[in-house]
Structure formats: structure tokens, C-alpha cells
Structure 1
Amino acid sequence: PRASAINVERAFIQFAGITAGFSASFFNFYQGDVQLSGNFAATARSTTVLAYTASFGSGFSATVSVEDSMYRRYSNGDSWYGVVVPAPGISNVSLQRPLSGAGGMTYAGQQIPDIVANLRVDQGWGSAQIMGALHQLRDFGYAGITNVPTAKAGDKMGWAVGAGLRLNLDMLARGDVLWLQGVYADGALDYAFGTANQGGDRSTISGAGNLAGTNALNTQLRDAAVILGAIQTTKAWSIAAGFRHFWTPALRSSVFGAYSNIDQPAASTLWDVKYWNVGVNTIWSPVRNLDLGVEVVYHNIQARQQNGLPAVIGPSNTFRGQEGAWVGTIRIQRNF
């Protein structure tokens, strides 16, 4: 049999300040606009939104948005995975009760969507935005042998705040621009470490190569861990910047970079992570709507266990706490 699929990047309706459909999050600001890999990845990270934007004049606006939290979850672990202690008076291992695991929280079904808000200004000099988000953390519990949850931690709200600045630098050359952004997240890791916000996330880092350390993050990163029956959140912050310069109207170059610091719950088995990247590209447009570009990016990841020792994985200790990779991209793009 032959399989086929259609991928939709954007599909939404806007009317009288209302946005409804499949669109970019209203938390997003800088989405790697000056880089090839960032632009491609960011457009794929849309979410389901229902938002209202109020315009105040002179370029000022404010938005409140309800968004699907499923697109913002870092979880594929088990929050109660099999660490056991004997129940009082019981020695049979099969009757021992689970103690909350420290390897990450497994999400239960969504009850409350993410609530996102921003305050933005767009004028001739550029744009600026401050934004915030609330993200529900719901523990699934421990399924055990019967595959029925037997214990759950109480719900908790994660959150994130950020600010971004875009400066038009036409005094240097027409089309020149500088982007700056910073985000802090507590229990809502994707807002600080997601492709749409240029922290890097799993898809971007894994794109740095099929490497032991980068791929291991798929099983290490969590929004939270359940420790002693309570949700303990992961805290993270990231900064990102990008600068684009036009040498001629047909030739432009960009330099960009990002840094993320991720502190996961201290009593967990999850790694603390520092990740950064820096890159440069040059794009030639010989005719209108045709881009011929080349980009080089360096990625670096450093990971430590909660005891302070470097993270080590692989049968031959192939990852010892730090790993770097160079990535080159050639892109030929026709715009319609």
C-alpha cells in the first residue's frame, strides 16, 4: 500500500481581533528569522490557538491566547517507575508499594490549555514584546502491573516569561536587522528551550548529528519530576540573538547564536544541561524570489548529573559530559 500525508504549517481565521485555528504561539517573538535552519524548524512548530488582540494605536497591542498545551510538553518518562519500598508488614516484593520516581514526570490528559499573553509594539524603528505563559503540570501516576494509576501527585502550574527586541538598522543598509530575546521558564521548559524560541530543543540539537549526547536529551529533558509525592519543576533560561546585513540588495549575511541553561530537580536522576550554538550564513538572490544560501552552525552541549559529575552514557562511555558538532546546510529556495 502507498502512504501519503499533508503537512499544514498555518491554517487560521482572523476577524475583529480574534485569531482561531492553527498558528504560531503568541508567546513567540524571535523565531530564528535570520537563519536557514531556525526558520525552517520554527514554521513547523504551530499550535492550536484561540486568541484576542486589542490594538491601542501607535503600534501598541496586547493579546490573550488559549493554546494547546500538548505542543509544549517535555515528557516521555514515567514519574513513578518502579522504585519500591516494602509496605508495612509486607515482605513480598510483588506487594511492595511504589515510591515516587525521580526520573521525570509522565503527563496525564490535558485539562487546562496553556494561557498566553503578550504586550507588543511595532513602529518604524522595529518591534518589542514582553510575554508570559501558564502551563498545567498533571501527573499520570504509576500504572504498575495492572496498568491502572495507583498514585498521583497534585497538579501544579508551570510558567514562563520573556522579552524580545527587534531593531531595524536601515542606517547601515536597507533591510539590516538585529534581534535579541531572553526567556525564563519554571515547569514549562519548551518556552525557554524550543525551536520556536531558538533555545535549541530536541529537534534542533538532534539535527546537529546522530551523536550520543545530543540524542540522549530525548530521554533526559522533562518539565518536572515527581519526588516524594510532589511535583518538582525544571527551571531554565535562554538568550538568543541574530544580526542580518545586506552587502548588496541581492547579497546578505547573518550571524546568530543562542545559549540555554537547564536546571532539573535536584533530587532527580535527570541531567542539568548547558547548550549553546553559533552560526553564520550567506544568501544570494540572483533574481526576485530565488534564494541560494549556505549556512554553518556549531552546536555544543554540556551535561552533568545531580551529584555534579559529568553525565556518562553508552556502552563504552561514548558521551562524557560534553559534545560538539558542526552542521552545514545548503539551501535553494524558490518563493511563490
Structure 2
Amino acid sequence: LPVAEPVEYVRICDAFGTGFFYIPGTDTCLQISGRVRVESHYVDDGFGSDDDDGGGNNDDDDDGSSDNDFIDREFNNWTTRARANIRLDARTQTDFGLIRAFFNIQVTEGPSDFATSYSSSLDLSAAFITIANDWGTYTAGHTSSFFDFFGSNTFGTRVGIDDSTVDTTLFAWTFAGGNGFSGTISVEDPLSSGRRINPSTNFFDLNAEPDDLSVGALDNYEGQEAPDLVANIRVDQGWGSAQIMGMVGQIHDKQGFDDRRLERDDAPDIFFRGEGDEDGDALRWAVGAGLNANLPFFGLGFNSQVSYSEGAVGYVSGDPISRGYFGGLNSGDFIGPDADETLTTAWSARAGISGDFTETWGFLIDGSYTEIDTHSDRINGRRRVVGGEGARENVGVEIDGLDYDMWGVVGTVTYTPVSGLLFGWEVGYNRLDIDEQDGENTAELLGTDDDQDVIGAMFRVQRDF
């Protein structure tokens, strides 16, 4: 009897590594991969505060003292998180060059610091196209910013170091100069990455009458008019890699304040303070450098990045104090009626070490330090405004903005019994110090302690396929 030739429904494509196959009827190689991750976390007060007078809103201690004002009975100490990722990677070698399309869809449930129930989120974690040929590599899509070099090695789901790395939508061109050297120019959209940070602080009219009700207003970004421009020079060789980078962007803002009074016959007048009508744009910028070194023993790797910015906090800091356990406070890119005169300056340094104890046991250690200076002198923090004499007491305060320094350290032990399966145990610690300004205790005016800390532990199970 005649025997039919076997039909090869799926052909393996080994040109780009493991897991690729040819899409039937095409020259395109496709890889399908994914991940499922499940975690458990516990977060609590740290090792103590310099202020033990019972200030703040934490009433858990019998003596009224508090290590962290924002970890109270409403705070979710124990939480979980479940996350799933699906990734598609398609590559085609053409006469125009190697064309690649990649996307990563991520679904997450939990955690939350205060919510009574978790919510699920669907995110487009990455989606980009690259074209690589003799002229360089062109990248368009949502992917890692070309300013970023190193973020963190550890998990850091709830308590981590200050990791400012983000994914952003960009258009970039990379030129390879030979011997591992390259340079990139990138046009990036800060709206897609959250790197336009507004202040969380109200401005009030300090000239309101004592019996008036004064209503404050935030001085925020106006609409976006231009992208951020990012450039880097990088080297990748056998010993590791290094990079220097910079960015420049626009702050589109209003200038000055516009005060209005609403007069009422049978109630106190209301003073409204809002942004002015004139444009008050400013230039924001950031610079940085990073180093990665492959050490010749125990599989050790060292990673680091230092950054400095004026008016571009998001390129330097992941805004760690905006997390619930530090009260959701933040310092914006500018804090004041004239953005060009009140740009926030920030600098940070972070580093990490990774290594292997054995073929299946490994460790990760990360640390970071961040310093923020808001350069503002007419901010009333988060004081609540009420009518009558109390209003005058609350709004009639002139202090600098929320200046602080924060450091964190995280350690992780991992166990990988087989390829694609990971168990991880982690402990993290954060310390926040709010600076005193011009003799005024900024933290006291904000209703919190000037020094706070928090400690957390977590467990992770992860399956990659």
C-alpha cells in the first residue's frame, strides 16, 4: 500500500534560541512563553521611631507610641498577590533587516495596603517593534526607557528599594559603534510611564481673614506639549556593561496664583486660591550612570546606578513614600506658583549583588539611598482646613516642601529545584527621614513623625514556561 509522506506541521526555528518555531506558511519564527507567580507578604512597623510621643494615627501600642504613623488598624499587614503573564515574540529575517515584534500581557490581583477587597488589573506590560540592520536598530513601542540601566534584583512587591525604572512608549534609534559600544537617541512619552509627578500638597491664601474658610489648590502640570528626549552611550563586553545617560523635558505649568473671594451673608467668606492664567513653563532634566560587573567567583554579579535630576523626580526615584505605609505623601517635580523657580532636585544611588550558593540555591541583595529637596517656601502640607479660628491656625503656616531622605535594603534567598520553577524568601527594610525646614518641624505640620521605618517579609512561588 502507498504510504503518505509525513507532514511537518510545526518546524523548529533554531536561529534565535530555544522555543521558537516557524509560523506555518511563513518565514517568521514565533516563541510563546509565560509565567505564573503567587506571593504572600507581611508588612509592619520597623525597629522604632525617634518620636515616641504618641503623635500620628497609629493606636496599636498601649503606650500610644508609634513606629510608623500610617500602619494602623485599617492597614492590611498580610496580603497576597497572583500574577500571570503571556508573551509572544515574533522575528523575521528580511532584506530590510531583522524585524521583531514582542508583547507581554500581564494580569494581576492584589495586593492593597488599605482596601477591603482586591481588584484585578490587566496591563500591557510591553509591546514594541524593532528593526535591526546596517544603519542601526530602530525601536518603536512600549518598553524599558533608554535612561534606565539598573532597577533592582530583588522582588520588592510591598517593601523594596527605591527602583525608578519604568516601561514607557518611545521611538528610538540605536547605533552600534563596534567593540561593544553603542549610542541611543530616544523620544519618550512621560504620560505613558508616570514620569510627570504632581505634588500632593495644597497652597492656601495666607492673607485670608481669621474667620474665613480658605480653600487651597494644587499647582499641577498642565497638558503635555512635548515629549522627553533621552540619550545614552553604552558599552557591553565580557567583563560586564556600563552606561551614561541624560534626559531633557518640558514642564508645562501656569504662573502665579489667582485668588478669589466668595462673600456670604450668613456664613464666613470663602477664599479660593487657584493657579494663575499666564504660562509658567520650565525645563526639566536628569543625568545618570550605571555599571554592571561579572565577578569571577560564585557566579557573582554587581549592578548599580546613580542619578540626579531637577524637575524630573520620576527619572531618579520611584517615589517610595507614596506607598500606603508612608501615608501616600509625595514630592512633585515642582512645588510652587512658578515652576522654573521651584524645581525639585533629587539624587539617588542603588546597587545590587546576586550570586549562587549551589546550582539550585542563590541569593540577591539590593540597597538604595534617595534624597529629595523641594525648594519651596509656601506649602501647607496635608493640614485639613476648617472654618472659624481653626482655619486660620491651619492655613497660616509657611514651611518648605516635603524634603526627605529615604534608604532601603532587601535580601532574598532563592531555590530553583528544576528549570523554570522558583521559590523565594525575602526580607526588606525602609527608613524615611523628613527634614526640618527653617526651624519648623515639617513632619509635625503634616501630622506625622519626622522619622519612620517599616519592615516586610514575603514568599514567592514562580513557574516560567
TM-score relative to the length of structure 2: 0.59
Q: Is the 8 A contact 2:291 2:305 kept in 1?
A: yes
C-alpha separation between the residues in 2 aligned to 1:229 and 1:11? Answer: 34
Among 208, 213, 231, the alignment partner of 1:117 is 231
1:132 aligns with 2:246: yes
Among 242, 253, 258, the alignment partner of 2:352 is 242
1:13 aligns with 2:93: no
Among all aligned residue pairs of Structure 1 and Structure 2, give the percentage whose two residues are the same amino acid: 33
Q: Cα 1:9–1:143, aligned 2, differ >3 Å: closer, same or farther?
A: farther
Q: Figure out how many residues of one structure are paired with residues of the other and give that number.
A: 303
Q: Is the 8 A contact 2:427 2:457 kept in 1?
A: yes
Once structures 1 and 2 are overlaid, which stretch shifts more, 20-29 or 228-237? 228-237
What does 1:29-44 align with in structure 2 at a 5 Å threshold? 29-32=149-152, 34-37=153-156
C-alpha separation between the residues in 1 aligned to 2:230 and 2:155? Answer: 27
2:442 aligned partner, one-letter code: A
What does 1:216-227 align with in structure 2 at a 5 Å threshold? 216-218=328-330, 221-227=331-337
Could you tell me which residue of structure 1 aligns to residue 73 of structure 2? Answer: none
C-alpha separation between the residues in 2 aligned to 1:262 and 1:69? Answer: 20
Post-superposition offset of 1:149? 5.8
1:215 aligned partner, one-letter code: G
1:181 aligns with 2:305: yes
Q: Is the 8 A contact 2:313 2:346 kept in 1?
A: yes
Q: Cα 1:12–1:165, aligned 2, differ >3 Å: closer, same or farther?
A: same
Q: Deviations over 1:64-118 (max 9, x none)?
A: 1111122211105478x442769xxxxxx99xxx9xx9x9741001111111111
Post-superposition offset of 1:173? 2.1
Q: Is the 8 A contact 2:409 2:428 kept in 1?
A: yes
Post-superposition offset of 1:148? 8.9
C-alpha separation between the residues in 2 aligned to 1:228 and 1:13? Answer: 40
1:75 aligned partner, one-letter code: N
Among 424, 441, 449, the alignment partner of 1:320 is 449
Post-superposition offset of 1:10? 0.6
2:145 match: secondary structure: coil
Give the structure with the higher percent helix: 1
Q: Is the 8 A contact 2:205 2:273 kept in 1?
A: no
1:127 aligned partner, one-letter code: S
Q: Cα 1:41–1:311, aligned 2, differ >3 Å: closer, same or farther?
A: closer
TM-score relative to the length of structure 1: 0.80
Which structure 2 residue ranges, 5 or more long, are not aligned?
Answer: 1-118, 261-271, 380-400
Post-superposition offset of 1:311? 3.0
Post-superposition offset of 1:276? 0.2
Post-superposition offset of 1:320? 1.7
Could you tell me which residue of structure 2 aligns to residue 73 of structure 1? Answer: 196
1:119 aligned partner, one-letter code: I
C-alpha separation between the residues in 1 aligned to 2:339 and 2:460? Answer: 50
2:156 match: secondary structure: helix
Which structure 1 residue ranges, 5 or more long, are not aligned?
Answer: 87-92, 195-200
1:184 match: secondary structure: strand
Post-superposition offset of 1:163? 0.3
C-alpha separation between the residues in 1 aligned to 2:351 and 2:240? Answer: 15
Once structures 1 and 2 are overlaid, which stretch shifts more, 254-263 or 3-12? 3-12
Q: Looking at CA atoms only, which structure, 1 or 2, has the larger radius of gyration?
A: 2
Post-superposition offset of 1:296? 0.4
Q: Cα 1:166–1:104, aligned 2, differ >3 Å: closer, same or farther?
A: farther
1:51 aligns with 2:172: yes
Using CA pairs under 8 Å that are at least 6 residues apart, name the structure with larger relative contact order, 1 or 2.
2
C-alpha separation between the residues in 2 aligned to 1:228 and 1:140? Answer: 7
C-alpha separation between the residues in 1 aligned to 2:439 and 2:352? Answer: 33
Could you tell me which residue of structure 2 aligns to residue 166 of structure 1? Answer: 292
1:311 aligned partner, one-letter code: T
C-alpha separation between the residues in 1 aligned to 2:340 and 2:298? Answer: 54
Could you tell me which residue of structure 2 aligns to residue 276 of structure 1? Answer: 407
1:267 match: secondary structure: coil
Q: Is the 8 A contact 2:162 2:368 kept in 1?
A: no
Q: Cα 1:29–1:82, aligned 2, differ >3 Å: closer, same or farther?
A: same
C-alpha separation between the residues in 2 aligned to 1:294 and 1:73? Answer: 34
